[in-house]
Amino acid sequence: MPGRGPETSIFCGPLDLAGEGVDAVLRNVRERAGVERIAPAVAYHAARDLLPHNPLRRVATGGAGVCFAPEWDRYPAALRPVRSAFAMGRDLLGELCGRAGAYGAAVDAWIVYLHDDREDSARPGAVRNLFGDVYPHVLCASDPDVRAYAVALTEDVCRYPVGTVLAEAPHWLPFDHGYGHERRSVPLDPTAALLLGLCFCAHCRDAASGRGADVPGLTAAAKAHVEACLTGGPPPAATADAVRRAGLRRYLDARRERVTTLVARLATTAAAAGAGFRLLDLSAGMLGWADGRPTGPPGVATTGELGVDPAAVAATCPITLTPYARDPARVRDEIAAYRAEAGPAARLGIALRPMSPDCDSAENLAHKLGVARELHVDRVDFYHYGLSPLSALDRVREARAIASCRKQHAEEEPGCSKADESSWQG
């Protein structure tokens, strides 16, 4: 949109709404942050969160599930969602949608699809690794019932007047991500870590066989390589080479096809209900999550581990990256690298953290907003209302004013002031 900056949103959790109150959260989002959209986590995984300004809890643990009123009959019987304890029995999405208009705010829906924390190792649809071990916290994107569950979840959420579905994890997760106290005492090389994150359930094996992969041969080679790592010594290069020769690329291609078609179906489902749909790509965020100082290649280099094909997904829907980094130059590099993979026509957004460890000043955040404008980012989401001190909301407003001022100076428009935020209001 010429002359207009990206639309802006802020993520929040159900305990923010239940603890502080829907009106208080909306007031802070609109008046302190100056952000026009709010994206509640309507379906989320378990976590332990430190909440700086929540009157109910300072540290909240658990909370997996949904914060709306599901229509249970939509779902496969074995894969129905559970209500989040953090919603406290309330339909928080319905309450938020009902109150947002009074504050001039729009509501989106942040859905975590297949990172679905449960402890039932016999649960249908869960990922099974190459040894047959179950990962009960991850559902398999190849499983037909899981795909039906994801569609039903989208339909269910889109009964509400949400503007856009922000889709996190409609794909697999890497091995080192997201389950309790993950422990290991032997080093894994990148190949072994990749292999232990792959699903080898019957549906995944069939999909790969359909693309010409020698699945029995690949499974044997993969086990040999991982077992070599488990001895505690460095695995011989020959075992990694054997994995590649056995058809690892075809196996990964089959995963990408399964995710691409699932995302396309979810986007179509949302569109049929009048809602937009964006993939939240976690690849960059996983690099910088802990300290805001990611190193090495940009996140897009690891999308294959998740089953994401940036170009194929970008042809279906917009994509929001998560370049969690302190250095604005790294944010620039992440966006540029992703666009190179996704194609020049891809609609890209970014999520930024306006607090530690990524940001300690409005100036830093304003630089990142400037990068977003220069690289034609169409949406900026701020992560995360409940995890940030309230001063971070003030930082968002100030940074947007600085970025607006710089934009006007660049266009040689007179009368710029920090209070003029019009070009960043979306």
pLDDT on residue 412: 57
The verdict on residue 265 lying in a domain is: yes
Our CA angle for 140, 144, 146, nearest 5°, is: 45
Q: Which residues contact 173 (CB under 8 A, 6 or more apart)?
A: 114, 115, 138, 197, 306
Q: Poorest-confidence range of 37-41, 226-230, 420-424?
A: 420-424
Percent of the chain at pLDDT above 70? 95
pLDDT on residue 142: 98
Distance (Å, whole) CA 167 – CA 277 = 7
Kindly state the DSSP code that residue 140 receives in the 8-state scheme.
-
Query: With 0-12 CB in 10 A as exposed, 13-18 as middle and 19+ as buried, what is 212?
Result: exposed
The verdict on residue 359 lying in a domain is: yes
pLDDT: which is higher, 121 or 81: 81
Q: For residues 251 and 213, is the Cβ–Cβ distance under 8 A? A: yes
pLDDT on residue 210: 96
Has residue 1 got a pLDDT over 90?
no
pLDDT on residue 4: 62
Range of the domain at 393: 7-183+259-424
The verdict on residue 201 lying in a domain is: no
pLDDT tens readout for residues 386-413: 999 999 999 999 999 999 898 777 765 5
The verdict on residue 251 lying in a domain is: no
The verdict on residue 252 lying in a domain is: no
One-letter amino acid for residue 62 of the chain: G
Q: For residues 114 and 145, is the Cβ–Cβ distance under 8 A? A: no
pLDDT-derived band at 423 (thresholds 50, 70, 90) equals very low
pLDDT tens readout for residues 153-211: 999 999 999 999 999 999 999 998 766 778 888 999 999 999 999 999 999 999 999 99
pLDDT on residue 339: 98
Tell me the torsion sign for CA atoms 339, 341, 344, 346.
negative
Q: For residues 335 and 375, is the Cβ–Cβ distance under 8 A? A: yes
Distance (Å, whole) CA 281 – CA 294 = 16
Query: Beta strand pairing status for 276-280 and 164-168?
Result: parallel
Per-chain mean pLDDT for the chain = 93
pLDDT tens readout for residues 33-64: 999 999 999 999 999 999 999 999 999 999 99
The verdict on residue 95 lying in a domain is: yes
pLDDT on residue 179: 67
* Average pLDDT of the residues in 370-380: 97
* Average pLDDT of the residues in 97-111: 98
* Average pLDDT of the residues in 60-83: 96
**What's the total number of domains in the chain?**
1
Q: For residues 117 and 111, is the Cβ–Cβ distance under 8 A? A: no
pLDDT on residue 118: 82
3 CB neighbour count, 10 Å cutoff:
8
The verdict on residue 122 lying in a domain is: yes
One-letter amino acid for residue 377 of the chain: V
244 CB neighbour count, 10 Å cutoff:
12
pLDDT: which is higher, 426 or 242: 242
pLDDT tens readout for residues 249-294: 999 999 999 999 999 999 999 999 999 999 999 999 999 999 999 9
Distance (Å, whole) CA 307 – CA 212 = 18
The verdict on residue 161 lying in a domain is: yes
- pTM for this prediction: 0.94
pLDDT on residue 181: 78
Residue from 424, 365, 355, 394 nearest 33 by CA? 394
What CATH number has the domain bearing residue 170? Answer: 3.20.20.80
